[in-house]
Structure 1
Amino acid sequence: MKQNYTVRHGALEGIEAFLAVARHRNFRRAAAQLGVTPPAVSQAVRALEARMGAALFVRTTRSVGLTEPGQRFLDRAGPAFEELVAAGEAVRDIGQRPTGLLRLSVPRAVVPLILEPMIASFCRAYPEIELEIAASDEMVDLAAGGFDAGIRLGQFIAVDMVAVRLTPSFSFVVVGSPDYLKRHGRPERVDDLRNHACLRLRRSNGAIAPWAFVDGNEAIEAMLSGPLIAHDYPTLLGAAMRGVGLAQTPRPIAEAPIAEGKLEPVLDGIAATTPGVFLYHPGKRQVLPKLRAFIDHLKSAA
């Protein structure tokens, strides 16, 4: 059976006044510590005693002492209150300067292209930030997963997110190894791909991604077949370099093997483009200094 739960109004009222009096054994000195008047401290303690249903102090004209209930309350409330104060200071610290754990959800292909070149300089610049990079090609719920931000291709970012551009728009390139193209020929049209081994990507929602092209103003999606299905672009790219088949990947991650002669592009004239790579987060009001520092460092390193 579900139990009703409510936070009692004023449950913590008077505790700071009680602790100050218990520390000084004097209402006037407690008031001076708290920056209030002695009558205000007396009133707060009396209200706390009324809620507790027990006297917490023994008062005489010359001294103030703790009753047995007061001592028991001090033994338990004192450490708990100090922990609350420490917790508040820790939260305030994170909210005011770049510190704490910064968790990012990032596709594997993005790590070597965008993050690796700036990780060392960021960690040196912000030694009080712990940077955690969760490399996964699955789309995650940032809030549910405990992430501060994510990095994804622009077309996959929800409209209610704040997006920060990290790269210009770029094309998707079809690539194959020189040996594969020598053995199987170079496709000249989309229809030619049906005679090739096409390496495909399975998206996080379980669907196999079609290959995308543009013919004039017409967008074309081709559902193809081949010997390999992977969940990330680096795996597809590695298989293409080993001659397993053709792969369609974002051009930035294929540029290095193309420049090294390990891969050759085909069908460049009808390559589809993507808006680019973006960092995204839930909203401007939720940007803590640690995330703001990371965004600014990414921009300066670009």
Structure 2
Amino acid sequence: MRLGEQVAKDMIAVRIGPDFRQAVVGTPAYFKPRGRPQTPHDLSEHTCIGLRLPASGGLYTWPFAKGGRELKVRVDGQFVFNTITMMLNMSLAGLGLAHVPEDLARIHIAEGRLVRVLSEWCSPISGYHLYYPSRRQPTPAFVLLVEAMRYRDRLRATSKS
């Protein structure tokens, strides 16, 4: 499973989740001495919490878009984790900025534990997809699994009824 629908050669991608937005967050105490970044380029002046991608071992670059302009920012910081939950926990501890799914940060933002920045730069990103090779004949059990996991936009389906 991966984010996005960029399909490698000889692979099939099946959407298993909706698009979602990311949020760049930090604690009020973190921002007090540093100020808040106004653009993604300002992140170079901040301590950012990185995410190591399990498949490649590389570091996740933070995607941003505004006014048709897209950019990916390589962030620096003392901490790099392989789970989003650890990134969020470190940000809640005041140790830097995290780039996490908006849904995970929403309650912390509402309760004032985290402050969201650069929201106008955080466009929706393509949701999770299941990838599998196209050159193999899938088993009936795998076909059932794919069909069960396939994302169906429930709002669109109910509004057409």
| TM superposition score normalised by structure 1 | 0.43
Give the corresponding residue for 2:94.
243
User: What amino acid sits opposite 1:177 in the alignment?
Assistant: T
Q: Percent identity?
A: 32
Q: 2:22 aligns with which of 172, 177, 187?
A: 172
Cα separation, 2, equivalents of 1:294 and 1:203: 24
Give the corresponding residue for 1:199.
49
Gaps of at least 5 residues in structure 1 are 1-150
Give the corresponding residue for 1:271.
122
DSSP 3-state at the match of 2:21: strand
Question: Deviation of residue 237 (structure 1)?
Answer: 1.1
Gaps of at least 5 residues in structure 2 are 155-161
* Aligned-residue RMSD, C-alpha: 2.8
Question: Deviation of residue 159 (structure 1)?
Answer: 4.8
Superposed CA deviations along residues 201-260 of structure 1, whole A, max 9, x for unmatched, are: 222323222222113222112223212111222211110111100011232333343344
Q: 1:194 to 1:293 in 2, by over 3 A?
A: closer
| TM superposition score normalised by structure 2 | 0.75
DSSP 3-state at the match of 1:164: strand
DSSP 3-state at the match of 2:24: strand
- Who wins on radius of gyration, i.e. which is larger? 1
Cα separation, 2, equivalents of 1:259 and 1:267: 17
Q: Which has the higher contact order (CA 8 A, sep 6+)?
A: 2
For the pair 1:296 / 2:148, whether they are aligned, the reply is yes
Contact 1:174 1:249 in 2 (8 A): yes
Question: Deviation of residue 291 (structure 1)?
Answer: 5.3
Contact 1:155 1:274 in 2 (8 A): no
Q: 1:255 aligns with which of 96, 100, 106?
A: 106
Q: 1:214 to 1:156 in 2, by over 3 A?
A: same
DSSP 3-state at the match of 2:53: coil
Cα separation, 2, equivalents of 1:161 and 1:154: 13
DSSP 3-state at the match of 1:198: coil
More helix by percentage: 1
